[in-house]
Structure 1
Amino acid sequence: MATARGGIMFAGHLSEFDPANADWSVFQKRLENYFTANAIEDDKLKAVILLTNLNEDGYKLIYNLCLPIIPENKKYSKLTKIFREHFKPNLSVFTARYEFYQSKKRLNESTKEWAARIRSLAATCYFETTELEMVLRDHFIVGYDRGPVQDRLLEEKKTILLSDAIEIAAAKSALKSTDNTFIKKEPKLHFHKSKTDRRKPKSQEGTPAVQQVNKCTVCGRKNHLPSNCYYRNHACHICKKKGHLAPGCS
């Protein structure tokens, strides 16, 4: 989308910066992208665009921070430095790392949302570049909510990459969701006793028919035959062979 400024067409659009509701670091990145997209290199023009994209509170703030010099007489690099220093968080590195390591995946949070959240938390932890990938991967697995997905991740070797862990977790979560849907829709088998059975005293009644059905050798349940089992084409995560799940592995 192109916008016009003084008769000149510019690519993209910048919303006003509101210091009460916006993140300066994010706004500055958008501003830099705007300059790149429009091939703007002149420092004075950059400063003008910055100042015109501040709302009233934002302009008052930069005006007060610049005193006794007015903002219009400062370079773009100086204006951004003033804002950066003003909005710099006061969190210590260990406070940030405490919040990082204490974080846990929420039950309603998807695999990719969890991965994005720990990356965001790590941004203020000042981990070394060489250790960041390992730290993110370890916390992604350890902080995952307890269940079959985390169990699957814990089976991996220490050489696994974060990207591979995310892919495995996402695939396992999708399979888990499919399995739960199938179990809910699985029809119940009804067994009717004959008149003779109903006349028998309770002490003489045999085991209910539903319990007399042999276990399915594929999934281990008792309410269907192996030939009708939904999992008959699934692979066992123990022996990796198709045709049964872990409960049916021998």
Structure 2
Amino acid sequence: MYSDYVLSSFRSFSKGTSGFNQLDASSITVNYMFGNWSDRFFANTFFVYTKNHDFLSTQSVVEQNYSQSEKIRIHDRSFFTISSKLDYYYKSISSNLKLDLGYTKSEFKNSVNNSALRQVTSHNYNYGFELRSGFKGPFNYHLGTKWITSRIETTITNSFTDVVSFIDLTFMFSEIVDVHLQSERYYFGSLTSKNEYYFLDFEANYQVIQSKLKLRLTGKNLCNTKSFRNYTVSDIGTSSTEYRLLPRFVLLGLEYRF
């Protein structure tokens, strides 16, 4: 509802419509579930389609040193998403396999640098799996990988795929000693350099007095990853954000329950 431009982020200004706007939309949602959570096989599928008969888009001006965006009201926008999750328990390996599939498509229009309204189409795909054990012994694991593909189509097309993988290990040596290891790998297909990151954490617990006094040893960022950088793509540009991380460290803790 801003009637003039206000600073919204670094060198970016935004302007509203100067008033309250009621927008019309129609939506349909379908959810189908096969089986129960306790069954050997379970599946859940979710579908949503939304049609915005009118919506608030943007009229942007992008310069070298700044950008400004003004809200405008135009017609017709559609949004579609579908996701499925499937779980199956393998008795032979005492493990549960989970598949995760999803697709989202969004279509809208906007204006950049005083151009006519242009069509923008966004596609997002995600697919991955997880495998979690249910052993009765002292060892269990949980591992998985997820791929995320994004594509934005305007006058040009930007596309990239990111991958996130993890392995978690649990060791229950006895009722008083347990060890947990967590590892992660990030791969950003949109980055041309420094596009892989590895993380490893661990935690070891020793029950000095059962349910009363616990000794804990914790290690974080054992791979000593010094920074983490991610990448985003929109219909008007790309941006990269880098975070400095705490270096590798190990902590010794004592927990006492009253």
Q: TM-score, normalised by structure 2?
A: 0.22
- From the two aligned structures, give the one with the greater helix fraction: 1
